[in-house]
Amino acid sequence: MTDLKQQIIRLSKSLGISKIGFTTADNFDYLEKSLRLAQENGTNSGFEHKNIDERVKPELLLKSAKTIISVAIAYPNKLPQKPDKTAYKRGQFSPSSWGLDYHDILTEKMQRLAHGIAELTAGFEHKAMVDTGALVDTAVARRAGIGFIGKNGLVISKEFGSYMFLGELVTNLDLAPDSPVDYGCGNCTHCVTSCPTQALNGDSTMNAKRCLSFQTQTTGALDEAFRTKMKTVIYGCDICQISCPYNRGIKNDAQTEIDPELAYPELVPFISMTNQEFKAKFSQIAGAWRGKNVLQRNAIYALANANDKTAIPILEKIAANPNNAIHQEAAQWALDKLRYKKSLKDR
């Protein structure tokens, strides 16, 4: 099977997979306590797979499971091209939402990988997972040697930093496992101290509901502390990644074309978009899953944080419209902030 493993590695490189690793399909029993505790305490995001047994026992997902193949797709943390200068101030989607939805990219590459493996060996069985699957992607990737799990809970490699999308194939193949990497965070706590909401516990776990990325994706009105700390980011958060020394100097290639106008949208036009306009322009990016209303709410907060007084007329219209109570309240909050800042300046 050594030859088969090497063939799979070569195949993965031909498909543009940044890094591949192999581990046994043994249980992840050590995760069960922390997963159940997070569920009980409500410190998980709520987006996770609900069945914890399936999260720690690969054989529940594929009866013939023997080897899990972990794959990583690197993505850039800097725009290849800056957006044009305009009269409008801009918001920002996090790099994970630049270009075509990474779920589609990773799923397509894993399908091609599985198809290629099936041509290499008879009787191939597998179960593929991307992001929202049962297994804990980071735990699989760590055990398969993709990288270590940092204090921010993300998998970090020397080659690509933490800017990697993860997925795995649970398979019936009998392949030699790889070893975990021999480097880690050491005494560094930059991500922990940089997190503006103190979401990180310093041991690779977190209170996900305090994470700004979670807050930009949740529904309803946000607490004021989260609104101001979001600044002009309308989807996601990368502060813990930006502060990580392993990400300094990283220059990952883009897997898809990145439109800077979608990565950094103009805020005033964004809050004015109809459902049809939003779908036509943004539907193919990862952040679009959350829907127009939540992202527009975030953009309204961002206008206040950007101190964009040119937005006052449209914010007044939104604040006077009772058809969307969340937007109405957000617009009134933004107006109060903008007018207060203006009054201080006029003194």
Q: What is the set of active-site residues?
A: 131
Cα–Cα–Cα angle for 169, 175, 178, rounded to 5 degrees? 85
Contact present, 167 and 106 (Cβ < 8 Å): yes
Give me the DSSP letters along 270-328: HHT--HHHHHHHHTTSGGGGG-HHHHHHHHHHHHHHTT-GGGHHHHHHHHT-TT-HHHH
Instruction: In whole angstroms, give the CA distance from residue 165 to residue 72.
Output: 5
**Any idea which residue has 């300046």 for tokens?**
345
Picking from 74, 73, 68, the residue whose alpha carbon sits closest to that of residue 174 is 68
Give me the DSSP letters along 314-336: HHHHHHT-TT-HHHHHHHHHHHH
Cα–Cα–Cα angle for 88, 92, 93, rounded to 5 degrees? 145
**In Å, what is the CA distance from 331 to each residue of 228, 298, 311, 334, 340?**
14, 10, 10, 5, 14
**In Å, what is the CA distance from 240 to each residue of 244, 248, 252?**
6, 12, 18
